[in-house]
Every structure is written in C-alpha cells, then in structure tokens.
Amino acid sequence: MKKLLFVSVSLSVFTVTSLSVSAQLKFLSFKDMNRYAEETISKSSILHNVNLQNVYYAASKISNNLLAPSNMATELCNTIQFRYAQILNRDVENLTNLSLFNFIDEWWATKYRYGGTSKKGVDCSSFTGKLMQEVFGFTMPRTARMQYAICTKLQKDNMLEGDLVFFNTTGGVSHVGVYLGDGYFVHSSCSRGVTISNLNETYYSKKFIAGGRPNITEYLAAETL
C-alpha cells in the first residue's frame, strides 16, 4: 500500500512539474533563441560557413523542439492543437509550434480590409508581417511585393513551415501567406478573412508564383536604400 501511495504521489509531482516546465517554455523569447543559435554558430568550427540568413530558422527549430509535445501524453495537448490538427489533417503530436497556432487562432476569421493593420480588418501582407514578427521575431517590409523582393525563392517541394507563399491575383505579386506544411498556408483572404487554404486548391494552384524564405542580407540591403 505504501509503495502504491509513493508511485501515485511521484506521478502527480511529475505531471505538475511537466506542466510547469511547459508553461514556462511558452514564454521563452524568440530573440533569446535567435541569440543562442547565432552564438552556437559563431563558436563552432564546423558551422563557421553557415549563412546567417538561416539563423532565425535555426532558432525557430530550437524553439519548436523545446515546445514539442512529443514526450507529453496526447491528452495534455491543448484544444488549439486538436483544432488545427483536424484542419491540417495532421497528428496532434506533430503540431509543435504552439506560438504559431496560438497566433493564428487569435486572428482567425478577422475580416480582410485593404490597408488594414488591426483585428478590425487586416490585409494579407500586414497579417504575414505581424505573424513573422510575433512568432519568428523577423521584421518584414509592409507590402507583398516588398516581402517577395527580400526572399530567397523556393519551389513547393523545398518549402518549410514559416516560409512565405506568393500569388499573382491581380497582376504581379499581389497576395502573400505563411506556409504551414503539407500544402497548407495561412493568409488573410479577401472572401473569408484570416483562414487556412491549400496550394492544391484550383484557384491557388493557378495563382501560385513561388515560396520565399526571408533573406536577412537582402532585407538589410533594402533598408539602406
């Protein structure tokens, strides 16, 4: 009986501790992750040739791994994870970037408004700019064309979660969203507001231009012009 009581108490302590650590990890600053990745690269003789434009993606990966619920019981995953796992047709355990999906959920169904920058109405490039800043710690130019200009262009097969996706909807680069993986992307749609769509949908497959990964070097060059 004493052994059973000890096991029960131990499990309770472990569960509370896990939840406490997980809650603390949610408040880790992405800038701290970015700084950690940059310091790691600078100190490593093996990685000394790594392009710094990939630093923020490395930091994002570190952050995501720390927040990954792969070692937690599925029942500990929050309702937002369950919701977006269904939308993305993905296992709950594979939705590791909690800050990304919390951000999407906060803005979900916000109506589209050209030139809008708030939850009263937001356009596509303002939405991507806010997401990239808040989730990944990267400041983006204001318009879709300017965002496209500072990106390294990517084919669909090479895109990762957090990359941008660009479309020609009204001539040239005129629409942008943020890639979520498996063809899905989040964006501020003219018809549905902030929502998730898929690149394989007929409309978007015809309008798709390219994926884009923000290039720090290109951005800094544009800033000096």
**Residues acting as catalytic residues:** 124, 175, 187
**49: β partners:** none
List, in order, residues 6 or more apart from 217 with CB less than 8 Å away: 52, 53
Q: Are 150 and 219 in contact (CB under 8 A)?
A: yes
Cα(94)–Cα(85) distance, integer angstroms = 8
CB atoms within 10 A of CB 164: 27
Angle, in degrees to the nearest 10, between helices 30-43 and 55-67: 120
User: Which residue stretches of the chain are H helix?
Assistant: 2-25, 30-43, 55-67, 79-87, 98-107, 124-136, 144-149, 202-207, 216-223
Rg (CA), the chain: 20
Cα(208)–Cα(102) distance, integer angstroms = 26
Residue among 211, 176, 180 at smallest CA distance from 196: 180
